[in-house]
Amino acid sequence: ADHTVRIWESDTLLEVDWLEGHVAPIMELAQNTNGTLLISAGTDNAIKVWDQQSRERIYDLGRHQFGVMDLLWKTEKSELFALNQRGTIYRYQDLKVHTGAQSSNTGREKMINRTKQPGSCLGFWEQHDLLVMGTFEGELHAYSSEGKSAWITKPVQDDLKPMASQ
């Protein structure tokens, strides 16, 4: 856990580069739809945006109060969603690539929703246009892209038993 993003050549399985900038473990890596940007997030409360070709960090997206657990790139609208450890979901729009060093917010940020439970993962249910967040307590929370709550499932209370082998 050296806090770097390692890049490997898939044909040769050789490490070809690494991205430095995080100061704590990296939890998630996402790529935009046209493959020009890599976005990394971690327990250092940071989201960093990298140019895929030059492998240079081009900007940071805000500073969260808690570690960022998951990233989700919604392809149709070029929106990036981030989930932090507290269970807060943020949406970033209008991400822009700048020339030169840039270390400020570069994209519109909006808090979508905040739960009372820590978040563990984030997904997108395309058929219903919903963000779905999982919690460490076993609940699922579904929201519109604007943050309107659609539904919440409660965790199963029954003891789970392994199935007998047949």
Distance CA 135, CA 149 (A): 15
Binned at pLDDT 50, 70 and 90, residue 116 comes out as confident
Across 30-53, average pLDDT: 92
Count of domains observed in the chain: 1
List the CATH number of the domain containing 96. 2.130.10.10
How is residue 161 written in tokens? Answer: 């038993």
Q: What is the pTM of this model?
A: 0.82
Phi, psi of 11 (to 5 degrees): -75, -40
Three-state secondary structure of 101-127: CCCCCCCEEEEEEECCCCEEEEEEEHH
Cα–Cα nearest to 74, from 53, 101, 51, 95: 95
Residue 104 has pLDDT above 50, yes or no: no
Residue 11 has pLDDT above 70, yes or no: yes
The answer to whether 147 touches 155, Cβ cutoff 8 Å, is no
Give domain status of residue 164, yes or no. Answer: no
Task: Write out the residue range of the structural domain in which residue 129 sits.
Answer: 4-153
Give domain status of residue 160, yes or no. Answer: no
